[in-house]
Homo-oligomer: A and B are copies of this chain.
Amino acid sequence: MLVVMKRDASREEIDGVVARVGELGLTAIPLPGAERTAIGTFGVAAREAAEQLESMPGVQEIVYVSRPFKLSSREVRADDTVVRVAGVEVGAGRPLVVAAGPCSVETKEQTTATAKAVRGAGATLLRGGAYKPSTSPYSFRGLGESGLRILAEAAHAAGLPVVTEVLTPADVDLVGHFADCLQIGARNMSNFSLLDAVGEQRRPVLLKRGLSATIEEFLLSAEYILAKGNPNVILCERGIRTFEKYTRNTFDVSAIPLLKRLSHLPVLADPSHGTGKWYLVAPVALAAVAAGADGLMIEVHPSPDHALKDGFQSLTFENFASLMRTVPAVAAAIGREVALPAPV
């Protein structure tokens, strides 16, 4: 941390900061410059402690040097983490995984048909929502526990592990009973009680980036889970909010190589939420693969124009199968393979 003093800071103000830094248990080294003095500090302090300095007389600003995330950082752990979802390995150069399925579990027929279709096209995980966050209280909010049952049965029939969202700490046990991987949605990336709760169990967690979260905030949310003792975290880029009106979100493709540089955790890409338009899903999925993603997460529905939620961003079975025929070629171009579904 560097404490930058105002140009006209007095001797007393500088001495005051040096003394206060000492009280915080840090070492201070004043660095007098041509225009102003800066005070370098060394040692470990909570950021809150450091922020106190900002309100001292003579201080212009505080400049942070250390990165606030630790356990998720490649500096702390150089080697890539492999997360195992039931038998499927994710990350560390393993073959790419594809999680596919409906936005929402609606009926047994819809879910079973979709599970079968996505497996047939090469998906390795089944995704689907039983608890749905929705901006409006009047929207469909999911089938709840009965949806979990339908999902688990469809997954079992298709021989695919299940990824599904959990919305609140009280549901973690129940969802974990049916799911192989717990998803934390974008709106809950900063729901710290929920992050604590999924950190206290051992199911893998697929953590989605928040709608306007920075990469640092995203890794700090992963840090919550890791700090509670659960090392099985998969990051998922799913688009951020921008000014664009033609798309629902703007998929941040650079987040993929950036996260892999900063962190050892696996990184998936969700081009369905990342664009919000079915006709953009395939090109953006291929882009994510070319940029180095460890896998994809795709919404598929037997009849998108009858979907209870997000039909406009769901692929038909045919469009998904078509995408899955191109993914291996793009992966191969950068030296990666695509995982095959486990034999049933």
Closest beta carbon of chain B to A104's beta carbon, Å: 9
A344 surroundings in chain B (CB, below 8 A): none
CA distance A240 to B261 in the complex (A): 21
Task: Give the contact stretch, choosing among A45-53, A80-88, A107-115, A174-182.
Answer: A45-53
What is the total number of copies of this protein in its complex? Answer: 4
Within 8 Å of chain B (Cβ to Cβ): is A193? yes
Task: Give the contact stretch, choosing among A91-99, A120-128, A151-159, A209-217.
Answer: A209-217
CA distance A297 to B278 in the complex (A): 28
A55 engages B330 (CB within 8 Å)? no
Closest beta carbon of chain B to A14's beta carbon, Å: 15
CA distance A44 to B334 in the complex (A): 44
A168 engages B139 (CB within 8 Å)? no
Q: Which residue of B lies closest to A224 (CB)?
A: B137
CA distance A138 to B29 in the complex (A): 25
Within 8 Å of chain B (Cβ to Cβ): is A329? yes
Q: Report which A residues bind B (CB closer than 8 A).
A: 2, 4, 6-8, 20, 29, 31, 33-36, 38, 40, 42-44, 46-49, 51-56, 63, 65-66, 68-70, 75, 133-141, 167-170, 187-188, 190-195, 211-212, 214-217, 220, 223-224, 227, 240-247, 250-254, 256-258, 261-262, 274-275, 277-280, 283-284, 286-292, 304-312, 314, 326, 329-330, 332-334
